[in-house]
Amino acid sequence: MLVENILEITDLSKSYQSAGKTLTVLDNINFLIPTGSANAIVGPSGSGKTTLLGLCAGLDRSSSGSVVLNGINLNTLSEDKRAQVRNQFVGFIFQNFQLLPTLTALENVMVPLELRGERNIKARALDLLDKVGLATRSHHYPTQLSGGEQQRVSIARAFSNQPKILFADEPTGNLDAETGERVQKLLFDLNHDAGTTLILVTHDLELAGKTQRILKIKGGKLVSDEKTLA
């Protein structure tokens, strides 16, 4: 079943207790993400961008409000059920790659497929590595790969379970400009081909401008929501 809005964020807040005081990281956030769209979340450091991304992906729980992902209210689910939803619908790309160091590039891409109990996973993982230009590096470990190559492996891994929505947290933040450009193009091309909804967090306004919509967070609040010319 295709839902009109893959993600619905309603009155979302996140607070922490610190030294007897309440620290509010996100304050009453509301937005809808249409299925198949490409979106950027921008804002200064400490504004709550990464916290918001984690809540949207079901990696953490909000203090109040709701996150509805593909028609499923994550707030009502146990940790195990949220993990099942992530495995079924979500891809995630991290700034620091988050590859498992004891596994080869191929094995890293196969992990989400193994968790889903899929068949023919080696062939699919090899196909994805070929798409990101790393077919000849499939048996290398993360320490044997450059930063750009590691991020390409993480992109292949993120697409391996054919996610409905892809979250990317500063996907080019640890890369030099030239490598970052290549990774950006790869990310948008794969995302377009797969028809996946994209939400990326970035400090790079040029990268944000390549999406269809920019959500700006400041001081834990959503201060603007604008369509781009992309």
Domain ranges of the chain: 35-61+87-227
Q: Which residues of the chain, if any, have pLDDT below 70?
A: 1, 230
User: So what's the pLDDT on residue 46?
Assistant: 86
Do the Cβ atoms of 9 and 30 come closer than 8 Å? yes
Question: The pTM is what?
Answer: 0.91
Tallying the residues shown for the chain, one arrives at: 230
Question: How much is the pLDDT for 173?
Answer: 86
What is the pLDDT at residue 1? 62
Q: What is the pLDDT of residue 168?
A: 94
Looking at residue 94, its pLDDT comes to 87
- What pLDDT, on a 0 to 100 scale, did the predictor assign at position 140? 97
What is the tens place of the pLDDT at every residue in 125-156?
999 999 999 999 999 999 999 999 999 999 99
Superfamily grouping for domain 35-61+87-227? P-loop containing nucleotide triphosphate hydrolases (3.40.50.300)
